[in-house]
């Protein structure tokens, strides 16, 4: 006499047909999820419009290139011994980068709001110092004569609307005593400003200071044979980007300080060139984005990528409870339970715009879990079964939150979770007799049954 286990039988339904229906229902959920995805894109566009509106009056993303020394030249017509013209008379300009450039940026950061959208803006006090050498005459045509009286210093600025006050220039150790004019006059450059200067000796020191306002990002283009830069701001969440990352950085709750050193051999821009030969050197730009840690649109969008897996696991949890307990749940009830999980993403998006992602996720998850558990408890005929589903949904929401916050390990976490879900399903249904689909109410495992 050996105790045996009575196989569980899915009661009162065709189990294969029910599973097929659940699979189809899961795919049907793609439609409302796509609509929510479109809504995320629409709200993100509204946020960008709000940022553009703030930037319109404050200044947009900023990038500085220069300063550049621009010296005009004229080359006379050249003829050979027979009097034939071999080179036409030409005019041009040599653009030269400084032999040394040290940039110090101290920025203050605050948040500006337009409607429900909040955007970080900054005001940067910038000091650029170093020295300029004489332009290389070998770049100009043979016989060219430099017009030193028309030499100018130029600075490229991505958005001159952000200039606050008048820039100050010390040239050769003394105030320049001249007023800046708009534009750089350099082909392919962004808008900017320029000022007349006079070269003195082989090396002419300079010190240029200005205050520049902008939105979200500040960048520099490294110039000079010797280049160094330091950027500091009271912002705890900097995102360093561009062609070069900082050699040293110190980030804390009160702000950050970062420093760069870039060799002239490591940039895409030459030390000197004829004006018009190259374009704006933005490929060498680097800088910092004043990153908003609550980038909820990106997080909501990422959560939607896991939505089908999430809803499928929710249906699987409900099906397992139905199978193990012998309860009967109609496919329409599955549809309503799935709709609650879809509404979660809509609640998440709407609440995140008001409270931030963390509180919004907690509120939306709690609301949808309670709603689904209460409904399932009534449908399953037992609140204990509803609580079991609530536990499963809580675990799923916790898993989804982990996937969203552990980007580097999201694939590993998702793969392990999928494996465990399959293993749990196989364990709980190991005694289900799928061939007895119409056998009646499922029984529990019988430990004490005896057979001769």
Q: Note whether 389 and 373 are within 8 A (CB).
A: yes
Q: Which of 60-74, 303-317, 421-435 has the lowest mean pLDDT?
A: 421-435
199 falls within a domain:
yes
Same domain, 149 and 182: yes
pLDDT band at 446 (very low <50, low <70, confident <90, very high): very low
Inform me whether the pLDDT recorded for 377 exceeds 70: yes
**What does the pLDDT look like over 304-342, one tens digit per residue?**
888 887 888 888 788 877 777 777 778 888 888 888 888
Given this model, what pLDDT does residue 259 score? 94
DSSP-assigned letters across all residues of 4-53: --PPB--TTS-HHHHHHHHHHHHHHTHHHHHHHHHHHHHHHHHHHHHHHH
53 falls within a domain:
no
6 falls within a domain:
no
Same domain, 321 and 218: no
In degrees and rounded to multiples of 5, residue 124 shows phi and psi of -110, 130
Domain stop point among 270, 293, 316: 293
Same domain, 309 and 239: no
Encoding tokens for residue 142? 């043979």
* Distance separating alpha carbons of residues 309 and 410, to the nearest angstrom: 13
3 falls within a domain:
no
Given this model, what pLDDT does residue 4 score? 47
Same domain, 264 and 379: no
Question: 200, 212, 206, 205: which is closest to 161 by C-alpha?
Answer: 212
**Cα→Cα distances 160→40, 164, 370, Å:** 33, 9, 54
* Distance separating alpha carbons of residues 124 and 126, to the nearest angstrom: 6
Structural domains of the chain, count: 2
Domain stop point among 239, 258, 293: 293
pLDDT band at 127 (very low <50, low <70, confident <90, very high): very high
* Distance separating alpha carbons of residues 151 and 149, to the nearest angstrom: 6
| Cα atoms found within 13 Å of the Cα of residue 90, Cβ hemisphere only | 15
Same domain, 94 and 221: yes
Same domain, 279 and 189: yes
Same domain, 90 and 212: yes
Question: 370, 379, 331: which is closest to 347 by C-alpha?
Answer: 370
Domain limits for position 410: 15-44+297-428
444 falls within a domain:
no
Same domain, 232 and 326: no
Same domain, 364 and 274: no
Angle at 168 between CA 167 and CA 174, to 5 degrees: 160
| Eight-class DSSP state of 146 | E
408 falls within a domain:
yes
Q: Where are the beta strands (DSSP E) in 141-280?
A: 145-146, 152-157, 163-171, 174-175, 181-182, 192-196, 203-215, 217-221, 226-233, 238-242, 248-252, 255-263, 272-274
Same domain, 243 and 260: yes
Given this model, what pLDDT does residue 11 score? 45
Encoding tokens for residue 353? 């715009």
* Distance separating alpha carbons of residues 116 and 94, to the nearest angstrom: 50
In degrees and rounded to multiples of 5, residue 391 shows phi and psi of -65, -40
339 falls within a domain:
yes
Q: Note whether 193 and 155 are within 8 A (CB).
A: yes
Same domain, 263 and 303: no
Inform me whether the pLDDT recorded for 43 exceeds 50: yes
Given this model, what pLDDT does residue 295 score? 65
Given this model, what pLDDT does residue 1 score? 45
Inform me whether the pLDDT recorded for 128 exceeds 90: yes
436 falls within a domain:
no
Same domain, 406 and 307: yes
Domain stop point among 266, 293, 320: 293
Given this model, what pLDDT does residue 220 score? 92
């Amino acid at each position: 006499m050996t105790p045996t286990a009575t196989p569980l039988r899915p009661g009162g339904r065709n189990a294969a047909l029910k599973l097929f229906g659940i699979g189809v229902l899961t795919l049907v959920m793609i439609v409302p999820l796509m609509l929510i995805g479109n809504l995320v894109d629409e709200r993100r566009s509204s946020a960008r419009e709000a940022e553009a509106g703030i930037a319109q009056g404050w200044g947009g993303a900023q990038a500085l290139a220069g300063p550049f020394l621009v010296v005009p030249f004229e080359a006379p017509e050249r003829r050979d011994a027979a009097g034939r013209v071999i080179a036409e008379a030409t005019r041009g300009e040599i653009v030269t980068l400084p032999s040394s450039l040290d940039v110090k940026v101290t920025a203050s950061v605050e948040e500006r709001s337009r409607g429900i959208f909040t955007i970080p803006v900054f005001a940067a006090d910038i000091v650029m110092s170093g020295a300029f050498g004489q332009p290389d005459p070998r770049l100009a045509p043979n016989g060219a004569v430099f017009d030193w009286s028309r030499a100018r210093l130029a600075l490229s600025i991505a958005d001159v609307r952000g200039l606050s006050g008048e820039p100050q220039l010390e040239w050769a150790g003394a105030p320049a005593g001249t007023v800046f004019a708009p534009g750089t006059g350099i082909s392919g450059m962004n808008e900017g400003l320029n000022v007349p200067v006079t070269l003195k000796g082989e090396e002419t020191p300079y010190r240029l200071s200005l205050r520049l306002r902008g939105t979200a990002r500040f960048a520099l283009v490294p110039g000079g044979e010797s280049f160094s830069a330091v950027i500091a701001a009271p912002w705890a969440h900097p995102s360093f980007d561009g062609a070069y990352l900082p050699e040293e950085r110190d980030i804390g709750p009160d702000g950050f300080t970062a420093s760069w050193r870039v060799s002239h051999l490591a940039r895409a821009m030459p030390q000197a060139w004829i004006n018009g030969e190259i374009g704006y050197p933005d490929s060498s730009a680097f800088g910092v984005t004043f990153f908003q840690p609550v980038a909820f649109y990106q997080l909501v969008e990422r959560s939607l990528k896991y939505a089908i897996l999430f809803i499928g696991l929710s249906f699987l949890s409900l099906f397992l409870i139905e199978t193990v307990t012998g309860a009967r749940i109609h496919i329409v009830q599955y549809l309503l339970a799935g709709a609650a999980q879809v509404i979660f993403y809509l609640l998440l998006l709407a609440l995140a715009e008001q409270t931030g992602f963390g509180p919004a996720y907690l509120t939306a998850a709690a609301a949808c879990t309670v709603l689904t558990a209460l409904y399932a408890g009534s449908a399953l005929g037992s609140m204990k079964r509803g609580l079991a589903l609530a536990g499963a949904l809580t675990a799923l929401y916790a898993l989804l939150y982990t996937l969203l916050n552990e980007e580097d390990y999201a694939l590993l976490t998702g793969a392990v979770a999928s494996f465990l879900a399959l293993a749990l399903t196989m364990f709980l249904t190991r005694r289900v007799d799928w061939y007895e689909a119409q056998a009646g109410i499922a029984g529990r495992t019988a430990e004490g049954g005896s057979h001769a």
